[in-house]
Structure 1
Amino acid sequence: MSASATARGTDQMILRGGKPLSGEVALKGAKNALPKIMVAALLTAERCTLRNVSRIVDVAIVSDLITALGGEVTYTSPDVLEICAANLHPMERSVLKEFTGKSRIPILTCGPLLARFGEAPVPSLGGCRIGTRPVDFHIRALQDMGAQLHDESGNALLTCERLYGNKIRLDYPSVGATEQVILAAVRAEGVTELSNAAMEPEIMDLIMVLQKMGAVISVDVDRVITIIGVKVLRGFDHTPIPDRLEAASWASAAIATNGRIFVRNARQVDMMTFLNRYRQIGGDFRVTNEGIEFWRAGAKLRSSALETDVHPGFTTDYQQPFVIALTQAEGVSIVHETVYEQRFGYIDALNRMGAQIQLYRECLGGLRCRFGQRNYKHSAVIVGPTPLRGAEINIPDLRAGFSYVIAALVAEGESTLSNTGLIERGYEDLVGKLLRLGAQIVDA
């Protein structure tokens, strides 16, 4: 079966709220790990195997991209994916335009394509509309490693005879920039020292894959990653880490609806910051070898003040589902978003549903923040608990989409969610999982 033959689903969902979610869901490979590991397969001509693969849209997009480059991507079983890039060819501009704007993953092909062919067209970044994702730091890092940029009529192209190791320091520990440098440096000549790097579990998983392939990579505690380039990389067989962000989403749904959900395959080690905060607001959990069970510890939830941050802080992707739970907590909660300047674009719809959330341009927290003097509404004050009522909502991005699902399940009456296809970028079989947990989906 072709890897691109994944179910794309419908674009509308009608939910009837007021019923606690109860039951079990199972996690597959992380949405923020799988596509990047697929890109790593472009670094070798040998066959690569990925297991416990989620049938999500981002996986389908990268599968189509690899196929368009001459690679082979096939499912050998429902959740096992094989990639062979032996017959890869340089990316044509027409192919790049086809994928530009669909996902932010194509920019990560620059390093592998420079290693294989000495040239790589530069795409713009796609993905969710939650803030700027400029390509300049990707290009600058590759230029530091010897690539030359040619920009004619907006068609940017990177070329090199080969890449060379260098000392690179990121202005901010960006996940995308860290992945770009790692994927480029493993085939570069010499040593690359990347400082102020991101350290998310998904990046560590990518490093584990590359080490299996023959790369030499060390990780220091002070956000320094050192890569010694090698000439040849081999294939791999890998099971990606389970999706901690999906686990946190279901955990938030459990306490917001006053339900009880066992998330199979969830790992405590990846979620420690979230679990601490979850318990502080009145949630509870039980960790087993098979996963984590989540529920509300008492009759009431407690308000909290929190700030998003890079890992190991409270990651920005936890924020949106968690805010729905805070609308049901007693007192005043404060959330200071420090990662993406437009992450609160989903708040207006929640207020229409009955939430009491006020946004501020000031930094309502102590963390150093890039947005405090730039006129962005990036702090939220949430007064609760407030009853929510059904509404018609258009989904703007992936995590906001799941947050609206939770809000609709909490609300009285029916909610109509449109543009639900965005949720499928990161949540496999959403409708099936909701039904198994007892959600009331009209005409499902």
Structure 2
Amino acid sequence: MADILTVNGGSPLVGDLEVRGAKNLVSKAMVAALLAEGPCRLRNVPEISDVKIVSGLLELHGVKIDSTDRDGELLLDPTNVEQAHVADIDAHAGSSRVPVLLCGPLLHRLGEAFIPDLGGCRIGERPINYHLDVLRQFGADVQKRPEGLRLTAPDGLKGTRIQLPYPSVGATEQVLLTAVRAQGVTELRNAAVEPEILDLIAVLQKMGAIISVETDRVIKIEGVDRLGGYDHRAIPDRIEAGSWACAALATRGDVYVRGAQQLAMMPFLNVFRKIGGDFDVDDEGIRFWHAGGTLNSLVLETDVHPGFMTDWQQPLVVALTQTTGLSIVHETVYENRLGFTEALGEMGAVVQLYRECLGGSPCRFGRANFRHSAVISGPTPLRGAEITVPDLRGGFSYLIAALAAEGQSKVHGIELIYRGYERFSEKLDALGADYQVG
């Protein structure tokens, strides 16, 4: 695929598009198929490169995947799960952090698992120590080797009590995918409770798991001896929906996002309205538009669900460059997520980064010397520039900036955007964007 997008910006985006299943659920539901003793059917699957990467990893482990002539549907047959070659796993893992989530299911199915060095977006440290600590508590033995980590479970995996130091989505997924077939009861405290987590729980329950979500971020899992297949329709991608909403606001446009759902997007919708955007919810999706006049600055802090999610922050910052006054954004989840604003400065935005916590929410970075708070002064006209995509969400944010800017922009490295945004060039066509690929 072409690596460069040339954008002639300055015109409103107007039209409608569709978002399908959430990237952050679909890949985990695919991994869950490793636990099944029967075929699995996953629907509403987006055509994104992350799905292809996870498909490749599962096929390396013997899972048969059929998507022929089934747009948005995967059939997964895990009957003959087997250990993959180390070199093959390593070749696939460079583009994804999913291999660490295969460990629990593979330990149950094969008695061992291997983790190579992990890739993913460079938005923060994102250590896997949470995952390894969790697996050790279940009884896994972790051995460091030159090519990566080898995990075994000599005495099988057993239920345990786990208290996460932070409500990590990845660590919560690890617990769920491991505990469902561990012997005994697992109690997880300080769990992540994002909509994608609850949808993964729904998948596992369909397979035969016994999971209860209790108050105060407590999840209890009673291990079972076997799990069957599932038939599941993935929840829509609230990150992509919010990204297109920010594009509508930044370009003074009007975009109908078919598939967007109000409940999962309530924190975003509140912020969108405070800024001065407007929206209308119906049974099929949500229409987002610039209501006219000036946009309002605001103070915003990212947080784990039910707070304002970190993945909405980067596209929103582009829209905040068009608000009147000073906006403050305090990023509390990923320490390097505001690094993308440097290129916005080259396009005319006025963004100042600070090491201090400019907000009252609990933050892990206040004394760690990371520039994780931003002050955005606006409105500032954006002008075309030559920019390079830094990560998935930052990349789409650059695309929004290019669409809002006067003049021509060249956006390099757009292959990263394909990791989480399905057919985004076709959607740009549907919204009347002026661009060329290549």
Do both proteins adopt the same fold according to a TM-score greater than 0.5, normalized to the shorter chain?
yes
Shift of 1:221: 2.2
1:157-176 alignment runs, 5 A limit = 157-160=150-153, 161-176=155-170
* Worse overlay, 312-321 or 152-161: 152-161
Aligned-residue CA RMSD (Å): 1.0
Give me the whole-angstrom Cα distance separating, in 2, the residues matched to 1:304 and 1:443: 35
AA aligned to 2:98 is I
1:128-277 aligned at under 5 Å gives the runs 128-153=121-146, 155-160=148-153, 161-277=155-271
> Does the alignment pair 1:44 with 2:36?
yes
User: Could you tell me how far 1:123 is from its partner in structure 2?
Assistant: 3.1
What SS does structure 2 have at the residue aligned with 1:396? coil
State the AA in 2 paired with 1:21. Answer: L
Query: Shift of residue 345 of structure 1?
Result: 1.5
Residue 126 of structure 1 deviates from its aligned partner by: 1.8
Structure 1's unaligned 5+ residue stretches are: 1-8
Q: Which whole-Å deviations, capped at 9, do the CAs of 1:155-177 have from their partners, x for residues lacking one? A: 32111131000000100000000
Q: What residue is the counterpart of 1:64 in the other structure?
A: 56
Name the residue aligned to 1:5.
Answer: none
- In the alignment, which residue of structure 1 is the partner of 2:25? 33
Aligned match of 1:84:
77
Give the letter for the 1:407 counterpart: A
Kept in 2, the 8 Å contact 1:91–1:120? The answer is no
Query: Partner letter of residue 132 of structure 2?
Result: I
CA contact (8 A) 2:252 2:292 kept: no
Verify the 8 A CA contact 1:49 1:81 in the aligned structure 2: yes
Using the TM superposition, give the Cα deviation of residue 443 of structure 1 relative to its aligned residue in structure 2, in angstroms. Answer: 6.0
Output the amino acid matched with 2:218: V
In the TM superposition, what is the alpha-carbon distance from 1:383 to its structure 2 partner? Answer: 0.2
Q: SS in structure 1 opposite 2:10? A: coil
Name the SS for the 1:163 alignment partner.
coil
TM-score (norm 2): 0.98
Q: For 2:128 and 2:437, how far apart are their aligned partners in 1? A: 43
Is contact 2:37–2:226 with CA below 8 Å preserved after alignment?
A: no
Runs of 4+ in 1 over 2 A off after TM superposition: 122-125, 152-155
Q: Is 1:366 aligned to 2:366, yes or no?
A: no
Question: Residues 29 and 54 of structure 1 are in contact (CA less than 8 Å); yes or no, is this contact kept in structure 2?
Answer: yes
Structure 1 length-normalised TM: 0.97
Q: Of 411, 415, 435, which residue of structure 2 is paired with 1:417? A: 411
Cα offsets for 1:222-260 (capped at 9, x unmatched): 101100000110001111000000000010011111110
Of the candidates 313, 337, 347, which is equivalent to residue 343 of structure 1? 337
2:13 aligned with 1:13: no
Shifted more, 251-260 versus 72-81: the winner is 72-81
Cα-to-partner distance string for 1:29-53 (whole Å, 9 max, x where unaligned): 1111100000000001311111111
Stretch deviating more after TM superposition (83-92 or 328-337): 83-92
Could you tell me how far 1:136 is from its partner in structure 2?
Answer: 1.2
Asked if the contact 2:11–2:404 (Cα under 8 Å) also holds between the matched residues in 1, the reply is: yes
**1:279 aligned partner:** 273
SS at match of 1:61: helix
- After superposition, give the CA deviation of every residue in 1:71-111 in whole Å (9 maximum; x if it has no partner): 11110412111111111102332222112221111110000
Q: From the superposition, tell whether residues 280 and 206 of structure 1 become closer, same or farther in structure 2 (CA, over 3 Å).
A: same
SS of the residue 1:50 aligns to:
strand
Specify every segment of 5 or more residues in structure 2 that has no aligned partner in the other structure, as ranges.
Answer: none
Query: Would you say 1:111 and 2:108 are equivalent positions?
Result: no
The 1-side partners of 2:38 and 2:346 are apart by: 53
8 Å CA contact 1:107–1:124 kept in 2: the answer is no
- Distance between the aligned counterparts of 1:38 and 1:272, measured in 2? 27
Letter in 1 for 2:373: S
In the alignment, the residues of structure 2 paired with residue 306 and residue 249 of structure 1 have an alpha-carbon distance, to the nearest angstrom, of: 17
Distance 1:54 1:155 in 2: 31
Identify the residue that residue 390 of structure 1 maps to in structure 2: 384
Q: Which residue of 1 aligns with 2:429?
A: 435
Instruction: Check the 8 A contact 1:125/1:134 in 2, yes or no.
Output: no
Counterpart secondary structure, 1:137: helix
Structure 2: how far apart are the matches of 1:420 and 1:155? 30
Aligned AA (2:399) = V
Q: Distance in 1 between matches of 2:25 and 2:228?
A: 19
Which segment is superposed worse, 71-80 or 272-281? 71-80
Output the CA distance in 2 between the equivalents of 1:425 and 1:134. 21
- What is the one-letter code of the residue matched to 1:247? A
Task: Give yes or no for contact 1:45–1:87 (8 Å, CA) kept in 2.
Answer: no
